Structure 1
Amino acid sequence: MTDAAPKIVLTDLHKSFGPKRVLEGIDLSIGRGESLVVIGGSGTGKSVMLKCILGLLRPEQGSIRIDGEEVVGISARERDRVMRKFGMLFQGGALFDSLRVWENVAFGLIQGQRMKRAKARDIAIEKLAQVGLAASAGALYPSELSGGMQKRVALARAIATNPEIIFFDEPTTGLDPIMADVINGLIVKCVKEVGATALSITHDMASARKIADRIAMLYKGRLIWVGPASEIESSGNPYVDQFIHGREEGPIQMELRA
């Protein structure tokens, strides 16, 4: 963390879908330049929390502040302004099949910032180089790339606008362990180079340990542990301990049986 002032602050955040309560009072602060990773099983509310911050979902209760500005309930125009601060690496990459690689990377520059294509292409090639891809890859289509290369392109797109905040949604999904480690290394490198605040959600503990300054565990809509990544092995929390070691036996499984 490079600054004591928080970049994102969630306070008493609640979100439900009918009778199902997904988030039940989330309190979380993310510092400027910090990389925070949220872990937890499927259906624990990780993606819902992310969508609330992005404004794709509106919480029934609570506050979301970005750079001190309340963003819950703001107008569409104000939302567009706030969203210019964000970059996003989607689960699975989510590249546009009909666009060449450089056009995928430059999409936010051309569509969001109305930048001229020639200038946007130059920036796209520069960002591809940052993730270890040659300029020649820019002329290819996503279908011509391996899974690891597609993930690199998605990362290049996430950093193309030099965002202040980058979200990573399961960044190593579908990758073999070696390529996952390569992508984790690139995430750390690129986030530092851009100077961004990073918020990631993942099931992959190798990824969480490598890219996180702090780790938070979400369970049944609540944050049950938040602390430095270096301290997660000694958290003293049986839920955290079971999850990070992937054990069948433990309080999470016991509650599932019940």
Structure 2
Amino acid sequence: MTAVPPKIVLKDVHKSFGPKVVLDGIDLSIARGESVVVIGGSGTGKSVMLKCILGLLRPERGSIRIDGEEVVGIPAREREQVMRKFGMLFQGGALFDSLKVWENVAFGLIQGQRMARAKARDIAFEKLAQVGLSAASGTLFPSELSGGMQKRVALARAIATSPEIIFFDEPTTGLDPIMADVINSLIVKCVKDMGATALSITHDMASARKIADRIAMLYKGQLIWVGPAQGIETSGNPFVDQFIHGREKGPIQMELRA
């Protein structure tokens, strides 16, 4: 029987901007249905890695495979097909202020899949209910919602097309600890219910511990530690230990001073 390939595989991925090396040989394999969280400080290349997988940026070297198929440098028509597999919760939500909540959720269905508005509207309200929002909220504009409710809308939009892969970019940014935990729980539930593969980037260790099967730490363009979420406290890596406990003193600070 043919072995099922991992959902996402990055092999020796390099990306630079002029003389600045951002990704310096990234190797990462994510299994189908697995939730992987990449942690690391600001400017370490987490978002660049996501953009390379999405095809928004092209690495100078290396391979990125989705379902066993190479996606680096593929033609636009093929890229469009690959993009249908993805859902995304953007940092800050990135909702359209001029669209009602249900129209935000249905945006990918209407614009991407050319679905009839009536059908897309029904799905949008179904997804809003899935993230704990009432039907009444669907008729409002994003500005009429609290930050936590806006994040729920963004999650509903991310899952509206029933994607195979969902990216979460700093999903709890700007939320208080209780609301952040609510969003984390919703992420875990939605991903599990859909059987989706999840890749998240975050600074929030509470979020990482809750939503991840595995955690990887990106530092100076390389993944310096990858392991099970429950093993991160005993990683034995001084960089990881400093980061997850938020300590001022440690190898990361020392290198910054140098």
TM range (shorter): over 0.9
Cα distance per residue 1:197-236 (max 9 Å; x no partner): 0000000000000000000000000000000000000000
User: 1:194 corresponds to which residue?
Assistant: 194
Q: State the secondary structure of the residue aligned to 2:190.
A: helix
Match in the other structure for 1:83:
83
Could you say what secondary structure the match of 1:181 adopts? Answer: helix
Residue of structure 2 equivalent to 1:114: 114
Tell me which amino acid in the other structure corresponds to 1:254. M
* Separation in 1, partners of 2:221, 2:43: 9
| 1:105 alignment partner in structure 2 | 105
**SS of residue paired to 1:88:** strand
CA distance in 2, matches of 1:244, 1:161: 34
Q: Aligned pairs, how many?
A: 256
Aligned to 2:238: 238
Where 2:96 maps in the other structure, the secondary structure is coil
Other-structure match for 2:48: 48
Aligned identity (percent) is 88
1:6 is paired with a residue whose SS is coil
Provide the residue aligned with 1:218 in structure 2. Answer: 218
| Contact 2:5-2:68 at 8 Å conserved across structures | no
> Which digits, 9 at most, give the CA deviation of each residue in 1:152-211, with x for residues without a partner?
000000000000000000000000000000000000000111110000000000000000
CA distance in 2, matches of 1:141, 1:165: 27
- Deviation readout 1:50-77 (Å, 9 max, x if unpaired): 0000000000000000000000000111
CA distance in 1, matches of 2:137, 2:116: 20
Show structure 1 runs of 5+ residues with no match.
Answer: none
Note the alpha carbon deviations across 1:53-110, whole angstroms, 9 max, x for none. 0000000000000000000000111100000000000000000000000000000000
The TM-score, its normalising length taken from structure 1, stands at 0.98
Cα RMSD after superposing both structures: 0.8
Check whether the contact 1:4–1:31 (CA below 8 A) recurs between aligned residues.
Answer: no
Secondary structure of 2:93's aligned partner: coil
Quote the Cα distance in structure 2 between the aligned partners of 1:138 and 1:75: 37
Q: Is the 8 A contact 2:14 2:62 kept in 1?
A: yes
Inter-partner Cα distance in structure 2 for 1:25 and 1:175:
33
CA distance in structure 2 between the aligned counterparts of 1:164 and 1:246, rounded to whole angstroms: 34
Measure the CA separation in 2 of the matches of 1:193 and 1:108.
Answer: 20
| Pairs within 5 Å for 1:1-258 | 5-258=5-258
Whole-angstrom CA distance in 2 between matches of 1:257 and 1:60: 30
Contact 1:40-1:219 at 8 Å conserved across structures: yes
Point out 4+ residue stretches in structure 1 off by more than 3 angstroms.
Answer: none
